[in-house]
Amino acid sequence: MPGDEAGPGSDVRAAGWEKAAAAMAEAAAAWLGSLTEEQLSLAAYDSPLHPDAEAERLRWFYTPTDHGGLAIRDQGPSQQSLAMQLVATGLSTAGYATVATVMGLENVLDQVEGWTVDWGRQRGRDPGLYWLRIFGRPGDRVWAWRLGGHHISLNNLVVAGRLVSTTPCFIGADPATTELLGGTLRPLQGPEDTARQLARRLDADQFRQALLHPSAVSDIVSGNRPRVRHGDTMMHMQDLWRGQFEDADLDRIVDDIDRRAEAGSGYTESDHARVAITVPPQGISGRDLDERQRHLLRRLVALYTGRAPEFLAGAYDTHYASDTVLDRVHFAWAGSTEVGEPHYYRVQDARILIEYDNTQRHANHAHSVWRDLTSDFGLDVLAEHRAHVAHR
């Protein structure tokens, strides 16, 4: 993570990681301590050092499938409060408000869909179906926790008393725009509007450099892979769920969603290859932007890294304040720059990968993800820890 390097302020940053880990451990222990044995069987999992537990930890989703763990709806009020207190330790104040809003948005989506979607459960859109799970024991040398449900996936790893990973971090919104009495609710307004503003400020030559495709791909390209690699193309809807439905009708619904999304984008295999994740990145680099455009690019990055606890977000802000660092960040766009039209964008350098799409439901269904190409799930740090233990 930015801020790992030694230098002025490194001790302060290290203390921040330790403080965040301690807050998480305290909140996680309090939540686990409130649960019954039956609840604990779902909430508490083996350590990430156990191969089966690690495989489960890396199995993440953003679809309305069972994410694994204890659902909020299956907890008492005081337990729910303790669960959300843990969730808040992994987010900034604004990040927590955004996540809480998206969870509640399930009630609105239920109405939008005419209360008819079931997904094989009693209530198809359920603000209580967000699953929390702890891997290992809070305070152990290695432990982790995650919250997942429709349009939310938060993943955190603690090693040696330090928070070492907060990605993948997925937040979506459906509907992306909802009319309120006297206003409008747009949970992902900042990330969408800032990117569009940057795209519109590009001159014709710059926009040609940034343009991945004239039409928007129908979903984020990295999908829910545990690792992102060069050449990855968009995962189709059928591959984004925990498994096949017992009800064949639900499988057909997923197939139909995918067909409609593909028809809307007009993409073929060659189109998907054109917008594949690449290393080095596609798009226009920060070095080819003017100062106003660079300011927008910095702000766009901060709107994603700002999901993290304030000390970590601040470390990223410091990192990307460097002109040399920003020079290597690439911005890429696909689709229309008109408000209300389907679009997709990507921000990428050697470390971060940011993706955003708003294409489905007539461009009123948004997905956004922030990933760390070097250490999603803290895999590199965990590998170093395992090697160190093995050589003792």
Contacts of 287 (CB under 8 A, 6+ apart): 327, 328
pLDDT of 388 above 70: no
Write out pLDDT tens, residues 335-380.
999 999 999 999 999 999 999 999 999 999 999 999 999 989 999 9
User: Distance (Å, rounded) from C-alpha 271 to C-alpha 334?
Assistant: 11
pLDDT at 384: 86
Write out pLDDT tens, residues 132-156.
999 999 999 999 999 999 999 999 9
3-state DSSP percent of the chain in helix, strand and coil, to 5: 45, 20, 35
pLDDT at 391: 56
E strands, 250-290, are: 284-285
| Token pair recorded at residue 292 | 């106003």
If pLDDT is split at 50, 70 and 90, which confidence band does 4 have? Answer: low
How far, CA to CA in Å, does 282 sit from each of 203, 216, 220, 243, 332? 18, 15, 15, 33, 7
Inter-residue contact 142 to 159 (CB < 8 Å)? yes
Measured torsion, CA atoms of residues 244, 49, 134, 373, in degrees rounded to the nearest 10: -70
Measured torsion, CA atoms of residues 121, 32, 224, 118, in degrees rounded to the nearest 10: 10
Inter-residue contact 185 to 96 (CB < 8 Å)? no
Question: Taking Cα atoms as reference points, which of 33, 305, 348, 37 lies closest to residue 171?
Answer: 305
Lowest mean per-residue pLDDT among 152-166, 209-223, 245-259, 364-378: 245-259
User: Distance (Å, rounded) from C-alpha 47 to C-alpha 282?
Assistant: 38
Contacts of 303 (CB under 8 A, 6+ apart): 190, 191, 194
| SS3 state at 184 | strand
Measured torsion, CA atoms of residues 219, 222, 224, 229, in degrees rounded to the nearest 10: 160
Q: Mean pLDDT, to the nearest integer, of 170-185?
A: 98
**First vs last C-alpha separation in the chain:** 26
pLDDT of 93 above 50: yes
pLDDT at 89: 98
pLDDT at 248: 85
Give me the residues paired with residue 130 across strands: 149
Query: Looking at the whole model, is its pTM more than 0.75?
Result: yes
Inter-residue contact 163 to 20 (CB < 8 Å)? yes
Write out pLDDT tens, residues 217-237.
999 999 999 999 999 999 998
pLDDT of 390 above 70: no
Q: Mean pLDDT, to the nearest integer, of 68-87?
A: 98
pLDDT at 287: 98
What is the β-pairing status of strands 44-45 and 130-135?
parallel
pLDDT at 12: 47
> Is the preceding peptide bond at 168 cis, omega within 30 degrees of 0?
yes
% residues pLDDT > 70 (the chain): 95
User: How many Cα atoms sit within 13 Å of 362 on the Cβ side?
Assistant: 2
pLDDT at 13: 55
User: Distance (Å, rounded) from C-alpha 294 to C-alpha 300?
Assistant: 10
User: Distance (Å, rounded) from C-alpha 337 to C-alpha 350?
Assistant: 26
Positive or negative, the Cα torsion across 362, 299, 324, 354? Answer: negative
If pLDDT is split at 50, 70 and 90, which confidence band does 385 have? Answer: confident
| SS3 state at 183 | strand
Where are the domains positioned within the chain?
10-167, 186-374
Inter-residue contact 265 to 342 (CB < 8 Å)? yes
- Given the structure tokens 């002025």, which residue do they identify? 8
